[in-house]
Structure 1
Amino acid sequence: MTSTTPFVLAVSAEMVFIDLPFVERVRRLHALGFAVEIWDWTRHDIDALAATGARFTSMTGYVSGDLVTAEGRAALLASARESLAVAERLGCPSLNLHGTGLDSNGLPVRPLPTVTGAQWLAARDTLMVIARLGEAAGKVFLLENLNTAVDHPGVPFARAEDTLALIEAVDSPHLRLNLDLYHAQIGEGNLIELIRRAGAAIGEIQVADVPGRCEPGTGEIHYPAIARTLAELGYRGVVGLEGWAADGNCERALQRFKSAFTL
């Protein structure tokens, strides 16, 4: 019996083959049979990326802004509209969001370690508009959970339980969860039960091992068990590697990733 994967395997071109120009990274991943994910699209030549023929599964869906302030909401919605136009050029179905805008180091532009009830409601209302934008464009926005202990201190709505609560409050197929299991392991743990709880709200799974944020098999998460759980639940969507290659060996990292999600 031949083993295969029921998932769409994608890789963040921001974190592998980093010695190559960005377009060459995309070409390399495409040649190896992986779909491609990018972060801030303003840093890249979109026409050159489109010309690679790669399948793009996710990109950042905003350039600035936040979910709760009037000024931040306006900036977020404006840059979401710009991002949708870029996603259309790349044929990219999903656009990623966070609880607030992040700087180049992954830190919140406006830290908000404590969130009030009024801010929860404001975030829900902003995301309702985001979902309508996605529906009009035929795209899906993904709200990603982050960890605040190691990588993103001060980010509001960071835990998976927070992002899931907002997604369920909006209740639109055009706003779903980007469940990042690296962040969830640091912030919450109990990953298999978290996956079961999120269920149909999941729009993408992102992975890296803990500690170190490298490929599966380099840390404490047993990703083959994760893969089996996803398959048993009927998930057939994107699993994206958003991690560094241990010891800089990208070919080995990609093989480990593929093996972990081959059933």
Structure 2
Amino acid sequence: MSSRANSPFQLAVCAEMVFLDLPFVERVKRIHEAGFAVEIWDWTQKDIDALAATGARFTSMTGYISGNLLDDDQIEKLLETAEISIEIAQRLNCPSLNLHGTGLDSQGLPVKPVTEVTGAMWIKAYQTLCAIAKLGERHQKVFLLENLNTLVDHPATPFAKARDTLTLISAVNSPWLKMNLDLYHAQIGEGNLIELIRESAHFIGEIQVADVPGRKEPGTGEINYPAIAHALYETGYRGVVGMEAWASGDSSVAIERFQQAFAVRL
């Protein structure tokens, strides 16, 4: 199966969430053999040489180990570990590195919960992201700021909504800092996805998808992903669309459904 033959987008699959009965490197091989690019999360627990040897095309990975956007000592850690992550991205020939509004633990919960975002926090986050963009420019890597949802998966995460990330990204206004617009999270927290895509189009570096409820592949829930694909196409977007979703059953069937959802029929 070839994603390029059937979709105008660069289709990728998150290896953390499919083929769970296989060792991680084998998951990457299966995704690659199916014709998709690969996305990974925390690289610190992975055999980077083995991943590189698969021949897979990696489109994004977590771009930090620790730190956040707001606290001076944590900002220093964020920048330091982002630079280390860039070295790994270079070994994998991965163009994009993913960030969140704060550091997340192994359960996806914020290491330092924030219940109220103040004006001073917005300014500090903007300044930190300016520094991140400069780091990306220096190494020719794009950092992506991902929106999350606080109702189901990531409570007390600052700058979680897609319109929050859009505000920050547009303020920095650098080609080395883009949005990772996660439509699963946006549907839970905001809705109105097609209008959100149109508003954000100029600042999108990647789209991530899963259906709602359940965070499974497109076609298992309430989001009309063929309509989403058409709207994305109309904006001129031709970049990465990553399936960051659990398989509802067989993983091969799940990624085929994902491919079908993003085969734009004009």
Could you tell me how far apart the structure 1 residues matched to 2:120 and 2:168 are? 13
Which of 95, 117, 136 is equivalent to 1:134?
Answer: 136
Could you tell me how far apart the structure 1 residues matched to 2:154 and 2:189 are? 11
1:262 match: 263
1:109 match: 111
1:200 match: 202
Question: 1:39 is aligned with what amino acid?
Answer: W
SS in 1 for 2:143: strand
2:61 match: 59
1:122 match: 124
SS in 2 for 1:63: coil
Q: Offset of 1:199 from its aligned partner?
A: 1.1
Which of 183, 186, 199 is equivalent to 1:184?
Answer: 186
SS in 2 for 1:240: strand
Could you tell me how far apart the structure 1 residues matched to 2:47 and 2:6 are? 34
1:94 match: 96
Could you tell me how far apart the structure 2 residues matched to 1:91 and 1:166 are? 27
1:48 match: 50
Deviating 4+ runs (over 2 angstroms)? none
- Residue 253 (structure 1) aligned with residue 254 (structure 2): yes
2:168 match: 166
2:221 match: 219
C-alpha RMSD of matched pairs (Å): 0.7
Instruction: Report Cα offsets for 1:20-41 as digits up to 9, x if no partner.
Output: 0000000110000000000001
Q: Offset of 1:113 from its aligned partner?
A: 1.7
Could you tell me how far apart the structure 2 residues matched to 1:162 and 1:180 are? 13
Could you tell me how far apart the structure 2 residues matched to 1:24 and 1:211 are? 28
1:233-248 alignment, distance < 5 Å:
233-247=235-249
Q: Offset of 1:4 from its aligned partner?
A: 2.2
SS in 1 for 2:97: strand
Which of 72, 75, 83 is equivalent to 1:73?
Answer: 75
Q: Offset of 1:200 from its aligned partner?
A: 1.1
Could you tell me how far apart the structure 1 residues matched to 2:126 and 2:98 are? 16
Question: 1:151 is aligned with what amino acid?
Answer: D
User: What is the percent sequence identity of the aligned residues?
Assistant: 68
Could you tell me how far apart the structure 2 residues matched to 1:182 and 1:7 are? 18
Question: 1:76 is aligned with what amino acid?
Answer: L
SS in 1 for 2:263: coil
Could you tell me how far apart the structure 2 residues matched to 1:114 and 1:98 are? 17
Question: 2:141 is aligned with what amino acid?
Answer: K
TM-score by structure 2 length? Answer: 0.97
Runs of 5+ in structure 1 lacking a partner? none
Runs of 5+ in structure 2 lacking a partner? none
Could you tell me how far apart the structure 1 residues matched to 2:210 and 2:115 are? 25
Question: 2:39 is aligned with what amino acid?
Answer: E
Question: 1:254 is aligned with what amino acid?
Answer: I
Equivalenced residue count is 260
SS in 1 for 2:6: coil
SS in 2 for 1:246: coil
SS in 2 for 1:206: strand
Question: 1:6 is aligned with what amino acid?
Answer: P
2:161/2:190 contact within 8 Å kept: yes
Instruction: Report Cα offsets for 1:172-230 as digits up to 9, x if no partner.
Output: 00000000000000000000000000011000000000000000000000000000011
Could you tell me how far apart the structure 1 residues matched to 2:212 and 2:65 are? 28
Could you tell me how far apart the structure 2 residues matched to 1:69 and 1:28 are? 41
Could you tell me how far apart the structure 1 residues matched to 2:169 and 2:83 are? 20
Could you tell me how far apart the structure 1 residues matched to 2:36 and 2:128 are? 33
Q: Offset of 1:251 from its aligned partner?
A: 1.1
2:234 match: 232
Question: 2:221 is aligned with what amino acid?
Answer: G
